[in-house]
Amino acid sequence: MHQYSGFFNAPRLYSPPISSNRITDMYQLNFDLNDFLTRFWHKEPVVIKNGFVDFEDPISPDEVAGLAMEEEIDSRFVTNLDGNWQAQHGPFESFDDFPDTHSQLIIQAANHWHPGPRALAEPFRGLPNWLFDDVMICLSMPEGGVGPHIDQYDVFICQGMGKRRWRVGPLGEYKDANHHTGLRQIEGFEPMIDEILEPGDILYIPPGYPHEGNTIDVSLSYSVGYRSPKKQELLNGYADYIIANDKGDVHYHNPELQTRDEHGMIPKAEYNALNDMLMKLINDEEAKARWMGEQLSSSRHELDIMPADPPWQSDELQQFLADGLFLEKVSGLRRYTTRTTRASFSSMVKPSNCQRAAKHSAKCCVTSKTSLSMNWVHWLTTLLFWRCCWIFATKVCGIHRLNRPQCCKTIDKTKPSNRKAFL
């Protein structure tokens, strides 16, 4: 990725019990997640002071700026100088003309592109993965923010370097403001929480609560977001799946049709027959299981993936495996299992932020327990495919060992690269 230098010229508090089951990875929560879910999840916002144990930023400000220079990554730069709200979308070529105050750089799905934000989401793995959306990073200058707004997400705002003042209001009806900016702002609210977050603090906000962050010092904050689907989205998604897969492509059939005195009337029997046609589609458990796997595994953000072209031969594959390379699953791919279905998802792997990047949709497959043996075949094939693609990316990028951090080389070694692989 790009490495950019020179970017810078009475609260409601929760005193959590210490968890006996702390996460043993890089980041550890300083509270019990089950206790939190019981008391606050989908109930009310709360500030968790020192929510992380010995918090350190997982990424530097210059690395965040570098991510915003990548075409594949969703980024925005928001300014509010003199109350004039403006939003620009990346990728950005330079930050030389951007203000040092009243501004904020936003990176969506940073966990797809950098292992630091990815590790930050690990302590929350006790929550359903199918609800998890992404880790968003905000690099904020003094007085920077995006204004008062409402999100339909559950979000854990984790404060890194610097300080930010957060205000959160109650549920209610609020008027929209500044439509031209696309920031979905509201006019304002009376806060129920007004608190300054410092490194390691966490602010949890359920869906629908208005909130606003204002930066005191140059700040990094990380939003670990969870998004639940709406009824409309589920119905629309399933309808699209039915049509795309030619399910229910059968006309209404009534060989017992009779004349009627009122030709505009729909008799109860005909209504029930039409309703049965509809309900057979809705109650098709096999179709719903497959669609559900596709629906819940889809990502709203770009994935860091690269196809192998041409594929490696088996002897080359065996040699690279013998050299001690290892696999890393593409961040953002998901696999789910239920009592009645098994869902598996495959895609292609490459080192994070290598020079070549290509768009490719993750495939998903849902099979019943009766075809479990075929599911194992699928997974073995997927594993071989991952290995092949990983070695392809490794050889192309000139990386021979992945057991220590190192820079990704370009294909054309006569030209210097300003992209860095975070391994």
The pLDDT tens digits for 413-422 are: 233 333 332 2
Comparing 212 with 367, the larger pLDDT belongs to 212
184: exposed, middle or buried (Cβ count in 10 Å: 0-12, 13-18, 19+)? middle
Superfamily of domain 13-226: Cupin (2.60.120.650)
Q: What is the mean pLDDT of residues 179-205?
A: 92
Cα separation, 286 vs 367, whole angstroms? 8
Q: What is the mean pLDDT of residues 353-359?
A: 32
Cα separation, 139 vs 143, whole angstroms? 12
- pLDDT tens per residue across span 104-162: 999 999 999 999 999 999 999 999 999 999 999 999 999 999 999 999 999 999 999 99
Comparing 290 with 318, the larger pLDDT belongs to 290
Lowest mean pLDDT among 111-115, 201-205, 346-350: 346-350
Residue extents of the structural domains in the chain = 13-226, 231-250+266-283, 296-397
pLDDT at 1: 52
The strand pair at 154-159 and 75-79 is best described as unpaired
Burial 51-87 (b: 16+ CB within 10 A, else e): bbeebebbbebbbbbbbbbbebbbbbbbbbeeeebeb
Cα separation, 101 vs 8, whole angstroms? 10
Q: pLDDT grade, residue 371 (50/70/90)? A: very low
Cα separation, 275 vs 256, whole angstroms? 18
Cα separation, 299 vs 254, whole angstroms? 43
pLDDT at 77: 96
pLDDT at 392: 42
Phi first, then psi: what are they for 13, rounded to 5°?
-115, 155
End-to-end CA distance of the chain: 12
pLDDT at 316: 79
pLDDT at 339: 56
Neighbours of 248 (CB within 10 A): 14
- pLDDT tens per residue across span 42-62: 999 999 999 998 999 999 999
pLDDT at 337: 62
pLDDT at 2: 54
pLDDT at 178: 82
Q: What is the mean pLDDT of residues 309-317?
A: 80
**Which residues, 6 or more positions from 104, have their beta carbon under 8 angstroms from its beta carbon?**
77, 78, 79, 138, 139, 140, 141, 144, 145, 146, 215
Burial 390-416 (b: 16+ CB within 10 A, else e): bbbbbebbebeebeeeeebbbeeeeee
Q: What is the 3-state secondary structure (H, E, C) of the chain?
A: CECCCCCCCCCCEECCCCCCCCCCCCCCECCCHHHHHHHCCCCCCEEECCCECCCCCCCCHHHHHHHCCCCCCCEEEEECHHHCCEEEECCCCCCCCCCCCCEEEEECCHHHCCHHHHHHCHHHCCCCHHHEEEEEEEEECCCCCCCCECCCCEEEEEECCCCEEEEECCCCCCCEECHHHCCCEECCCCCCEEEEECCCCEEEECCCCCEEEEECCCEEEEEEEECCCCHHHHHHHHHHHHHHCCCCCCCCCCCCCCCCCCCCCCCHHHHHHHHHHHHHHHCCHHHHHHHHHHHHHCCCCCCCCCCCCCCCCHHHHHHHHHCCCCCCCCCCCCCCECCCEEEEEECCCCCCCCCCCCCCCCEEEEEEHHHHHHHHHHHHHHHHHHHHHHHHHHHHHCCCCCCCCCCCCCCCCCCCCCECCCC
Instruction: Write the Ramachandran bin of 401: left for phi over 0, alpha for psi from -120 to 50, otherwise beta.
Output: beta
Entry pTM: 0.74
| Sequence letter at residue 280 | K
Lowest mean pLDDT among 17-21, 96-100, 250-254: 17-21
Q: pLDDT grade, residue 345 (50/70/90)? A: very low
Cα separation, 256 vs 244, whole angstroms? 32
